Amino acid sequence: MGKPNENGVELLDYTRVPTSVDSENNHNGRTQNKYTVNGTPRGGCVISRPLLFLLIAGMILLLVVSVLATYFLLPGCPHAAEIVQTTTEMMARSEIVDERLPTSLRPTHYRINIMPFIWEGNFTLNGEVTITFNVTEDTNKIILNTNDIIIHEDSVKVTDLDGGDAQILSVMEHQYDAEKQLYTVVLDDMLVTGKLYDVTIKYIGNLNDLLQGFYRISYIDYGAKKIRWMAATQFSPTDARRAFPCFDEPAMKAKFSISLARWKNMTSHSNMKKRAETPIENMDEWVWDHYDETPIMSTYLVAMMVSDLQSYKYNALSNSSQMEFAVWSRREALNQTRFAGTLGPSILEYFNKYFQIPYPLPKLDMVALPDFGFSAMENWGLITFRESSLLFDEKLSTIQSMRDMAMVIGHELGHQWFGNLVTPEWWDDLWLKEGFASYLEYLGVQHVHPSWNILDEFVIEEIQYSFQLDCLLSSHPIHVPVHQTSQIRQIFDTISYKKGASVIRMLNHVLGEYTFKVGLINYLNAKKYDNAYHDDLWETLTTQAHKDGVLDKDITVKQIMDSWILQTGYPVINVTRNYTDNSAIITQERFLLSKNSSDKTTWWIPISYTMGREFNFENTKPRIWMKNESEIVLNNLSSTDWIYVNVKHGGYYRVNYDMENWKMLGINMHQFPHVVRAQLIDDSMNLARAGLLDYEIPFSIVIEAFRDPTYISLTAALRNLRYIDNMLATTPIYGKFKLFMSQLTRRIYETLGFTEKPNDDYGKKMSRSDVLKWSCTFENSDCTIQARQMYRDWMIDETDKKLPSEQVRTVPANLKSVVYCTAIREGREVEWDFAFKKYLTTNIATEKELLLTSLGCASERWLLSSSGIRKQDGKNIFVAVSQNVAGHRLSFDFVRTNWKELNSHYGEAFSTISKMISALPVYMNTPFELAQLEAFKNENINELGTAERAFDQSIEEVHYNVDWMANSYKRIEQWLDDTIRRYRRNMLIENASDAEGG
Tell me, what amino acid is at 259? S
The Cα 248–Cα 484 span in angstroms is 12
Count of Cβ atoms closer than 10 Å to residue 138 Cβ = 12
**Hey, which residues does 530 pair with through a beta bridge?**
422
Q: 690 to each of 594, 630, 963, 980, how far by Cα in Å? A: 7, 20, 9, 25
Identify each DSSP E strand in 222-254 by its residue range: 226-234
Strand, helix or coil for residue 579? coil
Tell me, what amino acid is at 829? E
Tell me, what amino acid is at 549? G
DSSP H helical ranges for 709-777:
711-728, 734-752, 762-775
CB 244 within 8 A of CB 225: no
Identify each DSSP E strand in 36-101 by its residue range: 39-40, 43-44
Q: Strand 304-307 vs strand 624-627: parallel, antiparallel, or unpaired?
A: unpaired
The Cα 492–Cα 237 span in angstroms is 9
Q: Which of 215, 528, 573, 149 is nearest to 369 (CA)?
A: 215
Torsion of CA 289, 295, 297, 300, to 10 degrees: -30
CB 416 within 8 A of CB 378: yes
Tell me the CB-side half-sphere exposure of residue 624, using CA atoms within 13 A.
12
Count of Cβ atoms closer than 10 Å to residue 474 Cβ = 16
The Cα 119–Cα 871 span in angstroms is 19
Sequence-ordered list of residues with C-beta below 8 angstroms from that of 554, at least 6 positions apart, any chain: none
Q: Strand 382-386 vs strand 363-369: parallel, antiparallel, or unpaired?
A: parallel
For 539-567, give the secondary structure using H, E and C: HHHHHHHHHHCCCCCCCCHHHHHHHHHCC
Q: Which of 88, 97, 204, 104 is nearest to 148 (CA)?
A: 204
The Cα 958–Cα 954 span in angstroms is 6
Q: Which of 624, 668, 630 is nearest to 645 (CA)?
A: 624
Torsion of CA 547, 549, 550, 556, to 10 degrees: 60
Any idea which residues carry the catalytic annotation? 412
Cα 791 to chain centroid distance, Å, stands at 29
The Cα 373–Cα 367 span in angstroms is 14
Alpha-carbon torsion (590, 592, 598, 599), positive or negative = negative
CB 387 within 8 A of CB 404: no
DSSP-assigned letters across all residues of 592-620: -S-S--------EEEE-EEETTT---S--
680 exposure class (CB count in 10 Å sphere: 0-12, 13-18, 19+): buried
Q: Which of 181, 164, 220, 563 is nearest to 387 (CA)?
A: 220
Residue 459: DSSP 8-state: I
Length of the chain: 998
Tell me, what amino acid is at 907? G
CB 302 within 8 A of CB 240: yes
Sequence-ordered list of residues with C-beta below 8 angstroms from that of 25, at least 6 positions apart, any chain: 32, 780
- Phi and psi at residue 240, in whole multiples of 5°? -60, -30
